[in-house]
Amino acid sequence: MFRNHRKTALLLAAALCFIMLISASFIAANADHECCTRGKCPICYQLSMSENTLKRIASAAVISVILNVLYVITRLNPICSAVCVTDTPVSLKVKLSN
């Protein structure tokens, strides 16, 4: 079961890299495009779609990194609190009578 998830993840990562490569190469190839028809140019439409795709992938990557950092912090928090605990009078069961 775990190998199937690994294969699926690798396939999705390869597809994502392929999409990024194709979008970036299309933008680079048509960087000097002069629009001949205003409003209905298929190259301008494809350029904007490629730019939006790259922006969304970049946003998803940033969100993924932030969520992973938060996950690591929450997983390390109990470890840190267990190590950094100081002894208190209550934890030592000290009787505080006058």
CA 15/CA 18 separation, integer angstroms: 5
Does residue 2 surpass a pLDDT of 80? Answer: no
Whose tokens are 């840190």? That residue is 80
pLDDT digits (tens, 9 = 90+) for 17-72: 898 899 889 889 988 888 777 678 888 888 888 889 889 988 988 999 999 898 88
Instruction: For residue 54, count CB atoms less than 10 angstroms from its CB and return exposed for 0-12, middle for 13-18, buried for 19 or more.
Output: middle
Token pair listed for 63: 């969100």
Classify residue 94 by its DSSP letter.
-
Name the pLDDT band for 85 (thresholds 50, 70, 90). low
d(CA 27, CA 43): 10
- Smallest Cα–Cα separation from 52: which of 83, 20, 89, 88? 20
Asked if residue 80 has pLDDT above 80, the reply is no
DSSP secondary-structure letter at 57?
A: H
